[in-house]
Structure 1
Amino acid sequence: MKRFEYSGRSRQGKVTGKIQAASKREALLILRDKGIRVLEMKELPESILHKDIVIGNPVKLQHFVIYLRQFSTLLKAGVSVVDATNILSQQTESKYLRKALEQIETELREGNPLSAVSATHKKIFSPMYINMIKAGEAGGNMDETLDRLAEHYEKQHATKQKIASAMAYPIVVVFIAIAVVIFLLVSVVPTFVDMFADFGGELPAITKFVLGASEFMQKSWYMIVLFFVLLFLSISIIKRNKKTKYYFDYFVLRVPIFGSMMRKAVLARMTRTLSSLFSSSVPILQAMTIVEEVVENEVIGRVILQARDSLEKGQSITLPMKAHWAFPPLVTQMIVIGEQTGSLDSMLAKVADFYEKEVDNSTDRIKSLIEPLMIVVLAGLVGTIVISIMVPMFEIFNQVGKQ
């Protein structure tokens, strides 16, 4: 695809922008269909400076939720899917979503269904979105489906924000502690080395340790940087491989304090996603496959696949869950009730509501516990360095006083 920069006029007045198309002629046709009369157009050179390097989903969740809410409102007002896509492509603040919607609009005008067109933009539109849209198209309730999707992503975003806020404080304090310790070892401790050398006596063990750490930091600081780089790369490689990611996720769910909170967050995401898919009449086996992809945890994901196999054999989906430590009785019991009463979607929604509240409570408790703990750790690190310097200095002053 080539990139073009254009300026022209529409009913709203003068417009400028960029567009992707296979040729200049195609770009002109796309803009003409949008009611834009092009006055000037030039092709942008193929350069890395003009390429968008994106990792993960390039569209912010809040922008995507706004898009879903506005899309639903337009459809309820009687606007067609094509015209609604055109309007939203001009209104969204996300440039990535805007580009995707512009391309989707072109393909919609050619008679392609929204679900099929959206599937070509996998970085923006998840399998859950595509399958729910497909179900909405089949059932003729696209507006309700979009509202359900918006609600799902809003709650998912709120849960992620809660976890991020709980994790942010200890991470920030750890970085501050590391920065303070490095500053003291590199800038402060070396100023006392000559004084201690002139002292000539036997230095306390704590002072020897701190002086050794200071010398290592000054001479081999690159080893520490290399360690953190290798640690970051190792975690990235582990998380990309399904086999190694399983053990990483197992550790995350088992780690003290934070593990319980993470488990509740994963269960909330799983039950919320299943509830949304079932409410939109997505086939249950297909829904289980989608959840395994979006749950973002290999430990829970494997159990979901086992539950899917159990369902294919005509058994309850709760059999593998009951045998696994990660699933509390509340989850399995509510699913059993839902299966028996034919209200599985509402039962799962109640479980999701419960665990989302539990995540809120857990994050509040963790914040109240971590704050004093991190202060004590920071004070301990700085205090150790200060004491290692002060103890031999007191001995020097005592000797000078005796003389």
Structure 2
Amino acid sequence: MQFRYRAVDGDGRIRRGTMDAANAADLELRLKRLALALISARPARALPGLLAGRIGRRELVSFCFHLEQTSRAGVPLIEGLVDLRDSVEHPRFRMVIAQLVEEIEGGRLFSQALALHPAVFNPLFVSLVRAGEASGQLVTVLANLAESLKWQDELAAQAKKVLSYPVFVAVVVVAVIAFLLSYLVPQLVEFMRSINQDLSFNTRLLIALSELLVGYGAWLLLLPPVLWAGVLLWARRNPALALRLDALKLAAPFVGGTLKKLSLARFADQFGLLYSAGLPILDALAICESVVGNRAIAAALARVRVQIGQGGGIAASFEREQLFPPLVLRMLKVGEQTGGLDTGMRNVAYFFHRDVREAIARIQGLIEPTMTVVLGLLLLWVMSAVLGPIFDTIGRLR
């Protein structure tokens, strides 16, 4: 169970936090290993994942790098973990490392201890460490994991860049139009209606949109997030819908191709790591299905795994699913024929990584002028609908 505690460190400072323990005595022992003296404790509910402090890729990169360096220097793994436990700043990660130390001291293997924390160490991480233990190449595996995690962090940053900039510009455009319709147009409505002339269709449409926004603005503001949340909840309960939504992401205009390349780059890098660590191809594909990040691609990988299991060639099986472009398929075929499939997959990852960077640069270059033109056209329509009746009236006065 989880306890909320107050403790004092060696400098006399009060520390507060939460920790998993079997009972109060177990909690006191765990805190003692962290150089903390227990003052008081009480049972507490575990915090939700976001509130508990998410452990990100940067913490995992530091974890792998530290253990790789200490192991390479001949320091036993348990001592490296103890040093890391005493130096890490992230409170939740510090608690996780302390539990790893206890579990290894209790007789578990490193990979078995990692598997007890699936929210922190995913199946790919655990499988690579298990393969490294079995082959005696744990140091190499940790070094490869650190590089892979840094690369994945860069990919995630690029994916956010692809999606966040269009969303930001669209929000700005919508906000400008909403301001004009809710503030400027209502002030001119009475004047436009008092000129006693037939209003154009554009003007009538503008007035109708303004009245709709003023009367139901709050509902219109709440409707999109409510619909989005409803779709997400439905997708969680309906695997077919979730699969369809992920397929639509890959087919989305402008960003769909880039998102597909991001997912495939992640898969190629992870598959290369697993294969080079000594895992069988079918096991490596099965692990990649759970961590690739897109259900449509995961389903395609499952079909590839079935075809390979039935005796099909690796490159030929990928070609049937049309996951990769011809150049990448040729690289896979060469890697399969020469026995350097891990090198081939690393080349595939590099190929997609380069393509993603270039695609993001192109998208950003196109979005800025496109959004400027769209905003200009919308403002032109609003101004023409507002000023048209005024110019007509001035013309009649002449």
TM-score bracket for the superposition, by shorter chain length: over 0.9
TM-superposed deviation, 1:246:
2.1
1:203 and 1:246 map into 2 onto residues whose CA distance is 49
- Aligned equivalent of 2:23: 23
1:142 and 1:41 map into 2 onto residues whose CA distance is 40
1:277 to 265, 270, 274: 274
Q: Is the contact made by 2:2 and 2:20 (CA closer than 8 Å) also made in structure 1?
A: yes
1:256 to 250, 253, 256: 253
- Aligned equivalent of 1:6: 6
Q: Is the contact made by 1:4 and 1:24 (CA closer than 8 Å) also made in structure 2?
A: no
Number of residue pairs matched? 396
Residue-by-residue CA offset, 1:370-391 (whole Å, 9 max, x unaligned): 1100111122222221221111
2:44 to 20, 29, 46: 46
1:239 and 1:77 map into 2 onto residues whose CA distance is 49
2:9 and 2:88 map into 1 onto residues whose CA distance is 20
Q: Does 1:103 align with 2:99?
A: yes
TM-superposed deviation, 1:311:
2.1
1:24 and 1:57 map into 2 onto residues whose CA distance is 23
Q: Is the contact made by 1:238 and 1:248 (CA closer than 8 Å) also made in structure 2?
A: no
Percent identity between the aligned chains?
26
Q: Is the contact made by 2:271 and 2:285 (CA closer than 8 Å) also made in structure 1?
A: yes
What does 1:167-178 align with in structure 2 at a 5 Å threshold? 167-178=163-174
- Aligned equivalent of 1:294: 291
Q: Is the contact made by 1:268 and 1:353 (CA closer than 8 Å) also made in structure 2?
A: yes
Worse overlay, 251-260 or 142-151: 251-260
**Alpha carbons of structure 1 residues 13 and 311: separation in structure 2 relative to 1, 3 Å:** farther
What does 1:114-263 align with in structure 2 at a 5 Å threshold? 114-237=110-233, 239-240=235-236, 241-263=238-260
Residue-by-residue CA offset, 1:245-294 (whole Å, 9 max, x unaligned): 22222222222322221222122111111001111112222111011111
**Alpha carbons of structure 1 residues 9 and 238: separation in structure 2 relative to 1, 3 Å:** closer
Residue-by-residue CA offset, 1:84-108 (whole Å, 9 max, x unaligned): 2222223333333222212222111
1:219 and 1:279 map into 2 onto residues whose CA distance is 62
TM-superposed deviation, 1:17:
4.3
Q: Is the contact made by 2:315 and 2:329 (CA closer than 8 Å) also made in structure 1?
A: yes
Q: Is the contact made by 1:166 and 1:364 (CA closer than 8 Å) also made in structure 2?
A: no
Q: Is the contact made by 2:82 and 2:98 (CA closer than 8 Å) also made in structure 1?
A: yes
Q: Does 1:65 align with 2:61?
A: yes
Q: Does 1:361 align with 2:375?
A: no
2:111 and 2:348 map into 1 onto residues whose CA distance is 29
TM-superposed deviation, 1:26:
0.5
Gaps of 5+ in 1: none
Matched AA of 1:304: L
TM-superposed deviation, 1:358:
0.7
TM-superposed deviation, 1:398:
2.9
Residue-by-residue CA offset, 1:339-393 (whole Å, 9 max, x unaligned): 2111110111011111101101111111111110011112222222122111111
TM-superposed deviation, 1:214:
0.5
Q: Is the contact made by 2:7 and 2:40 (CA closer than 8 Å) also made in structure 1?
A: no
4+ residue segments displaced more than 6 Å: none
SS of corresponding position for 1:220: helix
Q: Is the contact made by 1:177 and 1:378 (CA closer than 8 Å) also made in structure 2?
A: yes
2:82 to 61, 64, 86: 86
TM-score normalised by L of structure 1: 0.91
- Aligned equivalent of 1:391: 388
TM-superposed deviation, 1:235:
4.0
TM-superposed deviation, 1:180:
1.1
TM-superposed deviation, 1:130:
0.4
Residue-by-residue CA offset, 1:179-238 (whole Å, 9 max, x unaligned): 111111111110011111211211111111110001011112233134202331144236
Q: Does 1:372 align with 2:390?
A: no
- Aligned equivalent of 2:321: 324
SS of corresponding position for 2:312: coil
**Alpha carbons of structure 1 residues 323 and 234: separation in structure 2 relative to 1, 3 Å:** farther
Matched AA of 1:31: L
Worse overlay, 50-59 or 363-372: 50-59
Worse overlay, 367-376 or 102-111: 102-111
Q: Is the contact made by 1:135 and 1:282 (CA closer than 8 Å) also made in structure 2?
A: yes
TM-superposed deviation, 1:14:
5.4
2:162 and 2:20 map into 1 onto residues whose CA distance is 41
SS of corresponding position for 2:117: coil
SS of corresponding position for 2:321: coil
TM-score normalised by L of structure 2: 0.93
Residue-by-residue CA offset, 1:26-74 (whole Å, 9 max, x unaligned): 112123334x262x42114636xx7244399921222221221112112
